[in-house]
A and B are shown apart, each in its own frame.
Chain A
Amino acid sequence: MLEENEPEWLSEEVKTGTTILAIEFADGVVLGSDSRVSAGASVVNRVMNKLSPLHDKIYCALSGSAADAQTIAEVVNYQLDVHSMEIGEDPQVRSAANLVRNISYKYKEELSAHLIVAGWDRREGGQVFATLNGLLTRQPFAIGGSGSSYVYGFVDAEYRRGMSKEECQKFVVNTLSLAMNRDGSSGGVAYLVTIDEHNTEEKVILGNDLPTFYDQ
């Protein structure tokens, strides 16, 4: 009957479960994410876009607690706007990553969110930064979220230096698909964002269009 137990999802924190990744190529970056948001065992949103813009050519991928990650992204978006007005030009990806890192580090006890920052700027081209727990490190590619554990082997084996834009996009989609198949907290559709000097392209790949592997 109606006991004191209220359903967990009402009080449980909404987490993004998640698989996110970003990879750089010669002239830009590709970011990818799944779309599942869970609260306990319940899927709260099956079509959430976890690739959030920080600036025209800088995006971040959200993972961990949905509220914390969304808030960090919004705060940094605002700070970057102010910063780019002050310097009078588009901000560097490193600056954006630094702003995210500063928040993650200062509030590391209170927050539980991990953002991967990636984008393109004039000086260094495409760059990917990981900001886990308040560190700042530039990497050729970065993966994160609960689903990433299942694909470390795949990305380590398949990554090659000097891939083209299309190869990178395929790499991201394959990785997402494998992770979504194995991780209970990842699923839904795949979102892709490709950033280069000339444009920023957002794409959605629906569930049945994702690549299938041996067991499907």
Chain B
Amino acid sequence: MALSNVLEIPAAGFNFENAARNAALEERFGGGKTPKPLKTGTTIAGVVFKDGVVLGADTRATSSEVVADKMCAKIHYIAPNIYCCGAGTAADTEKTTDILSSNLAIFSLNSGRNPRLVMAASILQDTLYRYHGTIGANLILGGVDCTGNHLYKVGPWGSVDTMSYMAMGEFWDLAAMGILEDRFKPDMEIEEAKELVRAAIHSGIMSDLGSGNNIDICVITRDGVDYIRPFQESQFKDNRKNKYKYRPGTTPILTQKVVPLKLEVVQETVLRMDTS
């Protein structure tokens, strides 16, 4: 079955187009420390409930020890009925989900059908497996399709797991998973499910420096999607105005020097425009 790709179907095997460029870039730093990729730190979670799926994520993106983005959106749109949480390298999760979203949109137009979760998971698995772990994307895919409510976890090496509740966090003991293991029940109501995911993300935020700020929640049901951003705001907010426009005259002018540029006309051509 040929999937219409936005770009052409990639050739088999690895793609080493950027190897030479990367080597040249590293040389530029003269053996010093190259800039680190932006990681999402992250706590993400997903839960299947009676009428659909709830996805949750924190909103902090870190670059080493600096918080690079306080309001990062980690729940990515894939299709009207499918959303995906991403952990790992921010650029990788962003791009992979973008490409998946485009391909599924083309598929929908070609076939006239809404995409299914299992198809999205298979495409992700295929793409990530081909790159053998070099794409650092840990994804939790969730949504509702004609076959029911589904949740899939895809690892960077291309392994796929499907469960009714799952979480990914910074540390291997997975604070968020502890909350889910304790309080998950099959066929929960919507408010219960939202509260469970919120608690799971909250515990991740409390236990891990790489996760923090606000909590985003995305509820997907047969009737539609409720993307609540933010669902819970961090208590630790600052009141920066983020406005840096100054009145003219704020900075005093001490001296002024005008240097006229001497230009001479070397050539003049007139092109008549044909307006008939």
Complex Cα–Cα for A125 and B272 (A): 89
- Kindly list chain B residues whose C-beta atoms are within 8 Å of the C-beta of A40: 172
| Among A42-50, A97-105, A151-159, A170-178, the stretch in contact with B | A42-50
**Contact between A45 and B65, CB atoms less than 8 A apart:** no
Nearest CB in chain A to that of B133: its residue: A13
Contact A4 B159 (CB under 8 A): no
Q: Are B159 and A67 in contact (CB under 8 A)?
A: yes
Is B240 interfacial (CB-CB < 8 Å)? no
Interface size classification for chain A: 20 to 34
- Fill in one digit per residue for A1-24: 1 if any B CB lies within 8 Å of its CB, else 0: 110101111110110000000000
Q: Is the CB of B64 within 8 A of A14?
A: no
Contact check, A65 vs B138: say whether CB atoms are below 8 A apart: no
Considering the complex, give the chain A residue whose CB is closest to the CB of B171.
Answer: A7
Separation in Å of the A79 CB from the closest CB of chain B? 14
CB-contact partner of B174 in A2, A4, A6, A42, under 8 A: A42
Q: Report the interface size for chain B: residues with CB under 8 A from the other chain.
A: 30
Question: B52 an interface residue at 8 Å Cβ cutoff?
Answer: no
Chain B window 140-179, contacts with chain A (Cβ cutoff 8 Å), 1 for yes, 0 for no:
0000000000000101111111010000001111100000
Cβ < 8 Å to A, chain B residues 195-254: 209-210
Nearest B-chain residue to A13, judged by Cβ: B157
Partner of B64, one of A4, A8, A42, A67: A4
**Distance in angstroms between the alpha carbons of A189 and B98 in the assembled complex:** 37
Besides A10-B156, A42-B174, A66-B155, 14 new A-B residue pairs in contact (Cβ under 8 A), listed by A number: A1-B65, A1-B209, A2-B62, A4-B36, A4-B64, A10-B87, A14-B155, A39-B155, A44-B155, A44-B161, A45-B153, A67-B159, A70-B160, A71-B158
Q: Could you tell me which A residues sit within 8 Å of B by CB distance?
A: 1-2, 4, 6-11, 13-14, 37, 39-42, 44-45, 47-48, 65-67, 70-71, 110
* Chain B residues in the interface with A (C-beta under 8 A): 36, 39, 62, 64-65, 87-88, 125, 128-129, 132-133, 136, 138, 153, 155-161, 163, 170-174, 209-210
30 A–B contact pairs at CB < 8 A?
A1-B65, A1-B209, A2-B62, A2-B64, A4-B64, A7-B170, A7-B171, A9-B172, A10-B87, A10-B136, A10-B156, A11-B136, A13-B157, A14-B155, A14-B157, A14-B159, A37-B159, A40-B172, A42-B173, A42-B174, A44-B155, A44-B161, A45-B161, A65-B157, A65-B159, A66-B157, A66-B159, A70-B158, A70-B159, A71-B158
